[in-house]
Structure formats: structure tokens, C-alpha cells
Amino acid sequence: MIQIENYTIEKELSRGPITTVFLATQTALDRPVLLKILNVQWKGEKDLVERFRR
């Protein structure tokens, strides 16, 4: 399994052209969560990154 900060990635649920959604466990609270991650090829697109953060 992959660790990202305080989350353990369990599995990939969906992948689109801009984001990927994962089922994960928030380790501090031991609860299931969904993580929506911006795909790396878009990290330089400031407008897209700002929209994603909102």
C-alpha cells in the first residue's frame, strides 16, 4: 500500500483526464476517505490547480 502524508491508499476507484480518485484510510482516525488527486501533468497549470483546490 502507498502512504501519502496521513493517508494509506487502498485502491484506485476512477481515473479521468485531470484527476484520479482513490479509496484510502485516514490513519490518524482510522476511517475510510476518498482522495481526489490532480494528475501530475497538470501541476504547472495555475488556473486549473486553483479550480481544483476550490
Q: In what order do the strands lie in the sheet with 7-15?
A: 2-4, 7-15, 19-26, 31-38
Mean pLDDT, range 32-42, rounded to an integer = 89
> Residue 46 is inside which H or E element, if any?
helix 46-53
The predicted model scores a pTM of: 0.78
Q: DSSP secondary-structure letter at 3?
A: E
C-alpha atoms less than 13 angstroms from C-alpha of 52 in its C-beta half-sphere:
18
Q: What is the pLDDT of residues 15-27, one digit of tens each?
A: 999 999 999 999 9
Query: Within 10 A of 18 (CB to CB), how many other CB atoms are there?
Result: 14
Q: What is the pLDDT of residues 39-53, one digit of tens each?
A: 888 778 888 878 878
When comparing pLDDT for 54 and 25, which is higher?
A: 25
Query: Within 10 A of 23 (CB to CB), how many other CB atoms are there?
Result: 13
Specify the pLDDT at position 47: 86
Specify the pLDDT at position 29: 97
